[in-house]
Structure 1
Amino acid sequence: MFTGIVEEVGEVVAVEDLGTDSRLVLRGPVVVPGTVHGASIAVDGVCLTVTTTDEPAGTFAADVMPETLRLTTLGDLRPGSRVNLERAARAGGRLDGHIVQGHVDGVGHLVSRTPGPRWDDLVLAAPADLLRYVATKGSVAVNGTSLTVTHVSDESFGVSLIPTTLEATNLGALEPGDRVNLEVDVIAKYVERLLEARS
């Protein structure tokens, strides 16, 4: 489990195409120290299992399965790509964002961004089957970043990025048309499932 509070913006060092799957090598000097084989790190909101680490180089490797490549933006990554990184939450730690599983629900894209005095307002398009879980003032994870929804329409939703988010995540560099990983609030999905079971 994650919180959606990005620890650092890392960099893709290498992408190894293994046919149907791939292996990523990523640089993350903040998240690598103390990380062991089998640990979980969210890469742009996608929970990946660490296969190897190189602490002196500040890098780690992770395998990416075909399903993950199909359902997320990880297949778009190239050496030099900047990615949001977050280690798994510790039991007993603070939950500063919201419950994020690292199980991406779908891919959306940036429609527009409007700069404010110290923040940016973003409008993101999302698939209709995901928008039903998005609520004004609710939470959504965009590239693994926990954000509060400002408004929702039939085709999109809005978020505002404070200066810290603009500086500490890769969302500050998004341009219209850029694809993003989306994870909706898991509680909304459970509520829907329980209501379906009752009827």
Structure 2
Amino acid sequence: MTGGRALTGWASNMFTGLVETLGTIKSISPTTEFEGFSFVITNAGDVLGDCKLGDSIAVNGVCLTVTRWDADEGWFEVGLANETLSRSNLGKLQVGGKVNLERAMAGHGRFGGHFVQGHVDTTAKILSITPDGDSIRLLFSLPLEFYTPLIPKGYIALDGTSLTLTHLSVPKPGDDHYEPGVGHFGVMLVVHTQSRTVVAMKAVGESVNVECDVVGKGVESVVRNVLEGGGETGGALEVMVERAVERVLARKGLLKE
């Protein structure tokens, strides 16, 4: 889900999930132009040196369009549509709050994170924060419909920060933090990440924006389409089942020529 703009092509606006700097919300104003709000974000000079009108900047992982900016003073303005506010945690931000900032990836630049589109899928709630040496482990919950694309040791973007999944589970009644219809996932934040992202500044019970790895979402979509749309005569699912049945019958000597 992009913020305040229509979805465009795969390569038009991509991010790496490597946060460049932490900005500060200077003002939040209602606006009829975007049918939502406009945000002015300061302390953003590091992402404005090559800024142009209409450029994309990920704010807590949400791809937003720059409508005004001043590189010398280090501020820029973006608009947020109502759907963006409802899908992400940006609607909960307050003046003075910190946000992760990352410019759209340049075609000639090095790629160090994972493919992040800036299209937030949902939000996840922090269930626990546990120290582990200099690092910290965080456990989150999110709806099962967004849990299924997650891959063990795969990637996830939390508030726009690219992180590796260290834990995946679907709790059962009686388990810690059990809640019907939700799955759990965990990540670890090393010292460097703790000092450069807003995720480490949050407390138990707060939410983060979640963008599942596009590879996992793609695989899930293909499998789902085959299983849900494969019931027609001669469809992929029917062919797959027929072949499996034929192999079983052949092993048992029941297949007639």
- TM-score scaled to structure 2, two decimals? 0.75
In structure 1, the partner of 2:108 is 92
| Bigger helix share | 2
Q: Where in structure 2 are the equivalents of 1:149-168 lying within 5 Å? A: 149-154=165-170, 155-168=183-196
In 2, distance between residues paired with 1:80 and 1:177?
A: 20
Counterpart AA for 2:40: V
* Structure 2 contact 148–220 (Cα < 8 Å) conserved: no
In structure 2, the partner of 1:120 is 136
* Structure 2 contact 199–208 (Cα < 8 Å) conserved: no
| CA deviation profile, 1:42-67 (whole Å, cap 9, x unmatched) | 00000000001012220000010111
Out of 176-185 and 88-97, give the one that drifted further.
88-97
In structure 2, the partner of 1:193 is 221
Q: Which of 20, 25, 35 is matched with 2:51 structurally?
A: 35
Extract unaligned runs of 5+ from structure 1: none
| CA deviation profile, 1:53-112 (whole Å, cap 9, x unmatched) | 012220000010111011001111111010000000011322211000000000111111
Counterpart AA for 1:120: I
* Structure 1 contact 135–151 (Cα < 8 Å) conserved: no
In structure 2, the partner of 1:146 is 162
In structure 2, the partner of 1:21 is 36
* 2:70 is the counterpart of 1:70: no
In structure 2, the partner of 1:47 is 63
* Structure 1 contact 140–184 (Cα < 8 Å) conserved: yes
In 2, distance between residues paired with 1:25 and 1:34?
A: 18
SS in 2 for 1:57: coil
Of structures 1 and 2, the larger Rg is shown by 2
* Structure 1 contact 37–52 (Cα < 8 Å) conserved: yes
* Structure 1 contact 103–183 (Cα < 8 Å) conserved: yes
RMSD (CA atoms): 1.1
In structure 1, the partner of 2:177 is none
| CA deviation profile, 1:161-189 (whole Å, cap 9, x unmatched) | 01110001112211101111000011111
Shift of 1:25: 0.4
Counterpart AA for 1:95: F
* Structure 2 contact 118–160 (Cα < 8 Å) conserved: yes
Counterpart AA for 1:141: A
Calculate percent identity across the aligned residue pairs.
39
Segments of 4+ in structure 1 off by > 6 A? none
Counterpart AA for 1:158: G
* Structure 1 contact 33–58 (Cα < 8 Å) conserved: no
- TM-score scaled to structure 1, two decimals? 0.96
| CA deviation profile, 1:99-145 (whole Å, cap 9, x unmatched) | 00000000111111111221000001111111111122000000000
The alignment covers a number of residue pairs equal to 199
Shift of 1:18: 2.4
